[in-house]
Structure 1
Amino acid sequence: MSIQYDEDQTESFALGSSVYGGRPTFALVRDEGGNDVMLTLYELLPTGQADARRRRLERRRQRASKTMPFNEVIGDDVDGVDEWTWDEWVAVKVRRLSGARLRSILQMIEETLRGSKIDPTKITRTGDASILLNESAGIRLTLGFIGVKPLRRVDHMRSLSRGISQMSLEECYYWHAKCRSPNNPGGAKALRTLLIEK
Structure 2
Amino acid sequence: MTRSEHYTCAISRDEDGRIVAIELRVKDLEGRTREIRVNGNHAGHIAGSLFEVLRSGGIRGRQWSSNAPLQLKPALGIHAELLLRAVKPLRRIDRITSIAEGVAEMSREEASYWHAQTRHRHGLKALRILIDGGVRR
TM-score higher than 0.5? yes
Q: How many residues align?
A: 132
Q: Give the equivalent residue in structure 1 for 2:130.
A: 194
Q: Give the equivalent residue in structure 1 for 2:27.
A: 44
Q: Deviations over 1:92-119 (max 9, x none)?
A: 21x1012222122111211122212212
CA contact (8 A) 1:113 1:120 kept: no
CA contact (8 A) 1:24 1:133 kept: no
Q: Which has the higher contact order (CA 8 A, sep 6+)?
A: 1
Q: Report sequence identity in percent.
A: 29
> Match for 1:157 among 72, 96, 99?
96
Letter in 1 for 2:63: K
Gaps of 5+ in 2: none
- State the TM-score, normalizing by the size of structure 1: 0.58
Superposed displacement of residue 156, structure 1: 0.5
Q: Report the CA distance shift for 1:104/1:33 in structure 2 as closer, same or farther (over 3 A).
A: closer
Q: Give the equivalent residue in structure 1 for 2:8.
A: 27
Q: Deviations over 1:30-75 (max 9, x none)?
A: 23577872211011223x263xxxxxxxxxxxxxxxx3xxxxxxxx
Which aligned segments of 4 or more residues in structure 1 are displaced greater than 2 angstroms?
Answer: 30-37, 120-125
CA contact (8 A) 2:5 2:26 kept: no
- State the TM-score, normalizing by the size of structure 2: 0.81
Q: Which one has the largest radius of gyration?
A: 1
The separation in 2 between residues aligned to 1:186 and 1:172, in whole angstroms, is 16
**Match runs of 1:46-195 below 5 Å:** 46=29, 48=30, 50=32, 67=33, 92-93=34-35, 95-124=36-65, 128-179=67-118, 181=119, 184-195=120-131
